[in-house]
Structure 1
Amino acid sequence: MGANATTLHPNVASGGAYDHMKLNNGIKYSFTYELRPGSGSSWGFELPENQIAPTIEETFASLWKFAEEIYADDNATGRK
């Protein structure tokens, strides 16, 4: 967890609007998704067909969990 520029690609990423908004404008939640493949893969962002469905499933599950956590946090703090 942390700013994209310092967590995902500290040597190449400069951050982005999501980092700027969180750090400078008080946005509570900002996020970046990095999908398959992992580092060291030769596929780039063009997945083999057999990797598409698992990527969708794991991404949906993580987005659902993220939404549940935000909802729970906002309800606990009274934020709407």
Structure 2
Amino acid sequence: FMTLLIGSILLPVLVLVGDIVFMFVVVSAALGAVVMTIYGGFETGIEFCHRITMAVPETYWEMIFPSSFEEKSTNWILN
């Protein structure tokens, strides 16, 4: 019964919640880039996009096991 509960009910709900959180992050980053471009100019919008993309690892493997010193010392909180 527990396997049925976890496999067919709980796991899909957790995946759906994760997808919604990811969608919110992507939409908020896109809106932030648009707002930065409108109010700060094109250079500010490009800089914002660059900071967002540099802070996001390409794969979970890179996030858990960074290979270079720059990746190890990256400040994940955008300052």
Name the TM-score, length of structure 1 as normaliser. 0.37
Name the TM-score, length of structure 2 as normaliser. 0.38
Greater helix content: 2
Greater length-normalized contact order (CA 8 Å, ≥ 6 residues apart):
2
Is the radius of gyration larger for structure 1 or structure 2? 2
